[in-house]
Amino acid sequence: MRPPLPRATVDAWERVRRAEMLVNPGLLFDRFAALGAMVENRDRPTRRFEHLKAVQKAVRDLAADELVRAYIARWEAMVRAAGAEPWTMRTDSRLVTGLGSGGPLEVGFRFNRLGIPVLPGSGVKGVARAYAELVEGRDEGDPDFVAVFGRAPRAGESQEVAQAGHLVFFDAIPVEGLELALDVMTPHYPDYYQRRETPPTPWQNPVPITFLTVAPGATFAFAVGLRLGVTDPDHRLRALAETWLRHGLAELGFGAKTTSGYGRFAGVTGEVQR
């Protein structure tokens, strides 16, 4: 199905596709889905599958390009300048990031501006905090917990008690073995999920939904550095945050569907490979 765009735009896009040039997977995913993959029609599942396969190939091509190696080198220089010592961990199960961010296919996926799947630093920090709270029982009464994560004022408290954490959790980036895999979830009660007044009856038609995941075996680099003006001479705070993060990634997981086993990391560590 022809995209609803000016003919010159469509012709230019087709020339790029035929030329086998390097394609930004993020732009391809978010901006160049065919109309047939987005609107209800008989061929929508096929069109959707074809679009996701094209994104999958674009990521594979990008991962093998010199651009990614240069990006990894810049990332490592940046985090080391902030006092971080990067380490790596490998995905032990499929990982879903950005599932709820929306997009042309309803189910989203997280790419950065270069089209590289990344794990946002805010989410990385959340995993470390969740482990510290849920497993070790830490809270804002613990000085180390506040030093790492900061604290926000509670109801009725003055804004003056707010405190930023001393550490910076950087975006985690893939450095080796990056491959996307297609997965499927099948809501069995689509009418119930779309219209709550409809009960979840057994005669509703299941609707398979294909979505993108990071395949097991991808190695990501992580880094926890110092906020500007903060010192940590004995590395104690950074080591504590890194310990919480390592255990959180291995035991709690990152991203969506972690209760179903997604997003787990194996306890493999090492130097960043360029």
pLDDT above 70: residue 16: no
Tell me which residue range forms the domain holding 115.
Answer: 7-266
Is residue 97 assigned to a domain?
Answer: yes
Q: Looking at residue 160, what is its pLDDT?
A: 77
End-to-end C-alpha distance for the chain, whole angstroms: 41
Is residue 177 assigned to a domain?
Answer: yes
pLDDT above 70: residue 18: no
pLDDT band at 196; cut points 50, 70, 90: low
| Predicted confidence (pLDDT) per residue in 155-188, tens digit | 877 777 788 889 999 999 999 999 999 998 877 7
Is residue 272 assigned to a domain?
Answer: no
For residues 245-253, give the mean pLDDT: 95
pLDDT above 80: residue 204: no
Is residue 56 assigned to a domain?
Answer: yes
Q: Looking at residue 274, what is its pLDDT?
A: 44
Task: Determine the Cα–Cα distance for residues 88 and 75; give it in Å rounded to an integer.
Answer: 13
Of the two residues 19 and 104, the one the predictor is more confident about is 104
Is residue 271 assigned to a domain?
Answer: no
Q: Tabulate helix, strand, coil % of the chain (nearest 5).
A: 40, 15, 45
Beta-carbon contacts of 259 under 8 Å, excluding residues fewer than 6 positions away, are none
The DSSP 8-state label assigned to residue 64 in this structure reads T
pLDDT band at 41; cut points 50, 70, 90: low
CB contact at 8 A, 51 and 44: no
Is residue 1 assigned to a domain?
Answer: no
Q: What percent of the chain has pLDDT over 90?
A: 53
Of 125-134, 161-170, 216-225, least confident by mean pLDDT is 161-170
Is residue 101 assigned to a domain?
Answer: yes
Q: What percent of the chain has pLDDT over 70?
A: 90
For residues 188-193, give the mean pLDDT: 73
Tell me the pTM: 0.83
Is residue 154 assigned to a domain?
Answer: yes
**Short-list 92, 109, 127, CA closest to 29:** 109
pLDDT above 60: residue 270: no
CA distances 177 to 22, 59, 165, 241, Å, are: 19, 11, 33, 26
Domain count, the chain: 1
Task: Determine the Cα–Cα distance for residues 92 and 47; give it in Å rounded to an integer.
Answer: 30
